[in-house]
Amino acid sequence: MKDPRIRMASMIMLSCAAFAGMEAALASVLWVLVFSDRKFKVPSLPAFLGLFVIISVIAILSIGDASGGLSYFTRMSALIIITVWAYSAIRPGEILDTLVWLLGNKTGFELGLTAEIAMTEIRRIPEDYRMARIAMDFKGKKIRIRDYIPVLGNILTITLKRAEEHGKILAGRGYIRGGTHRPEFVTEKNDWLALFFSIMIVFIVFLPLVRYL
């Protein structure tokens, strides 16, 4: 999928559909498997696996409730898979391109620049985690489950400090608001096909709701 506008629109629609019902969640995962290159990557594998452990525990505790533990696990797992796909597929500059196309060179540029800085910091999380592991090794300690919270807290603190430095650099160079950017997009036939099926999934999910209006 080449066009980031279609990719982001599909991500939003599939996320809404997956949250609405178990059948739509399964259809959304199937969509990801069909239309993605299936080269997934995550900022932090332990955090990714930890999310699945958390939703598994909640699903087990929810067995017998009206919501249904299986339905909860399926929907939350689908949302995680969609998020991982979106993170893996996005390329540097695509969020800026899309938001400038959508909202213009003022608001779109501002939000796009902020999002690009955030994505840059997210991509650095694996390196920060690796450095934390090295620091623990130097101390002769192994990271246990109870150590993940302070380690992730330190990574978050470092990330926020770097973001603050980015802001100071932009301010020092005279940046106030907005900018000039002319995004260019490449759209393939497969992109339109993927968009069509994502719209169909949302339509099928929310069609019963329209009947009650």
Percent of the chain at pLDDT exceeding 70: 81
CA-nearest of 73, 12, 4, 1 to 202 is 12
DSSP assignment of 139-207: TT----GGGHHHHHHHHHHHHHHHHHHHHHHHHHTT--S-----------HHHHHHHHHHHHHHHHHHH
- 147 has pLDDT over 80: no
> Both tokens of residue 190?
């497969």
36 vs 46, which has greater pLDDT?
Answer: 36
Q: Whole-model pTM?
A: 0.75
17 vs 154, which has greater pLDDT?
Answer: 17
- 159 has pLDDT over 90: no
- 213 has pLDDT over 60: no
